[in-house]
Amino acid sequence: MTGSNAETPDILGRAKPILVTGTTGRHGGSGRAVAQSLIAKGFRVRALVRKMDERAEAVAADGAELALGDYADYASLLRALDGVSSAYFCYPVGAGIAEAAGLFATAGKETGLRQIVDLSLRSTAPDSATPQGRAQWVAEKIFEWAGFSGTHLRIAAFFMENLLKNDAASVRDSGQIANAFGDAALSWVSAVDVGRLAAALIANPSLVDERVLVAPGTVHLTYPQIAAEISDVLGRRIGYVELSTDDWRQALIREAEARGEPNIRGADHLAAQAKALRARIPMPVSDVWERLTGAAPTSLRTFVDAHRADFTPL
């Protein structure tokens, strides 16, 4: 689809807040990077947060105003979207995105929202191999049917932050990474760079014409190569162990439960992706990041170095 982003920049009147969701994220945390980038560009940002905790305080310290709310609480969405023309919509990898998008879009229609940049993924399709890809496709359609302009930002890469969520504990505790990707060449990007790109799309609605922007990663790396890179940065050997998709799925479910964040959808999504990528579906890389944001993307070495403490035993 083309031409959907012909909105005039008046939707971004600097006095109006831009609603940014997902600023307190514990996975990619892309929303915080969106908020920081928009604030740095001089925009007023309102962050939707579920709790007034230390993560929300950090977002306020960045310069955002806070709106207490939840995708499941319609009245809170009406309050958060009041006076807002443009929004960033981010939902975690987990069940419930289509319902959240429905409530968000309905509240937005009520309050005069005009543009949404939503974070999505390459496997978004009605016949996607992953349940998250199918649900995310419904969310995208809801925003289109509701008549919003904006971009579905489909990331065709893994977030480097997955290494913190899925692998850092085993790197710390047993000096290894274990999953079902084997030696498939995966493409990677930092969620901070994703946030910067989303902010660029919000700040400049005519940056791309397409309704769907597929943004490939910045670098190709297999998991054995990642283990070698982490070993190099940390100065100790980190091994790689290949698991079957079933064993890995069970391990992901157990680990999420142990963290107090049960997420069967997340495990199903990752296991389905590993199955597809082991069949050698190619993952592209591209220079879209530098071209559209003007900033060089984060390298894996810089990322690991910045998070050295997460990979290091106490």
Ligand X SMILES: NC(=O)c1ccc[n+]([C@@H]2O[C@H](COP(=O)([O-])OP(=O)(O)OC[C@H]3O[C@@H](n4cnc5c(N)ncnc54)[C@H](OP(=O)(O)O)[C@@H]3O)[C@@H](O)[C@H]2O)c1
Q: What residues make contact with ligand X under the rule CB under 6 A?
A: 21-31, 48, 50, 70-72, 90-93, 119, 121, 132, 136, 155, 158-159, 162, 191
How far is the CA of 3 from the CAs of 258, 271, 306, in angstroms? Answer: 47, 36, 40
Residue 235 or 253 having the CB closest to ligand X:
253
Q: Is 199 helix (H, G, I), strand (E, B) or coil?
A: helix
CB-closest chain residue to ligand X: 25
Least distance (Å) between residue 6 CB and ligand X: 26
Least distance (Å) between residue 217 CB and ligand X: 9
d(CA 27, CA 191): 9
- In degrees, to the nearest 5, what angle opens at C-alpha 154 toward C-alphas 152 and 158? 150
Least distance (Å) between residue 9 CB and ligand X: 26
Least distance (Å) between residue 157 CB and ligand X: 6
Residue 51 or 236 having the CB closest to ligand X:
51
Least distance (Å) between residue 204 CB and ligand X: 21
Residue 92 or 205 having the CB closest to ligand X:
92
Residue 91 or 181 having the CB closest to ligand X:
91
Judged on CB neighbours under 10 Å (0-12, 13-18, 19+), 234 is middle
Least distance (Å) between residue 126 CB and ligand X: 16
* Residue 254: how many other CB atoms lie within 10 Å: 11
Question: Tokens 């993924």 label which residue?
Answer: 121
d(CA 102, CA 163): 31
Least distance (Å) between residue 3 CB and ligand X: 25
Taking the alpha carbons at both ends of the chain, their separation in whole angstroms is 51
Which segments of the chain does DSSP mark as H helices, in order? Answer: 30-40, 54-61, 74-81, 97-111, 131-145, 162, 168-174, 191-203, 223-234, 245-258, 264-278, 288-293, 300-306
Residue 9 or 262 having the CB closest to ligand X:
262
Helices vs. strands in the chain: H and E counts, helices first: 13, 12
Residue 149 or 263 having the CB closest to ligand X:
263
Residue 171 or 186 having the CB closest to ligand X:
186
